[in-house]
């Protein structure tokens, strides 16, 4: 299955935005979701995409509505440009 790097990058940018707004370090966010800071770093750098369960944990930890997060994510994705063919 092909996964556009722009999808992961856009998710990472959105995650970093909300983490910064929440005033959390990568380590603090990782602790809140029961993970390690390297995983959060991979997400923010667009090297990994979370599962749906992890996405829910992230939104809960950041006190952000999943719909709001996805709306920002889609805007971020459109700023990065179209997916390669």
Query: pLDDT tens digit string along 2-13?
Result: 456 689 999 999
Distance CA 58, CA 45 (A): 16
- CATH 1.20.1270.10 given to domain 5-80: no
Of the CA atoms within 13 Å of residue 79, those in its CB half-sphere come to 11
pLDDT score recorded for residue 79: 75
Looking at per-residue confidence, does 83 or 1 come out higher? 83
Q: pLDDT tens digits for 16-29?
A: 999 999 999 999 99
Q: Where are the alpha helices (DSSP H) in 1-85?
A: 5-22, 26-33, 37-44, 52-62, 66-80
The answer on pLDDT for 1 being more than 50 is no
Percentage of residues of the chain with pLDDT beyond 90: 78
């Amino acid at each position: 299955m092909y996964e556009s790097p722009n999808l992961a990058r856009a998710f990472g940018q959105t995650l970093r935005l909300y983490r910064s707004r929440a005033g959390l370090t990568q380590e603090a966010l990782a602790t809140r979701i029961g993970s390690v800071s390297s995983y959060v770093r991979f997400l923010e750098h667009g090297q990994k995409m979370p599962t749906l369960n992890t996405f829910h944990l992230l939104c809960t930890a950041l006190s952000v509505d999943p719909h709001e997060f996805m709306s920002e994510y889609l805007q971020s994705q459109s700023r990065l440009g179209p997916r390669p063919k």
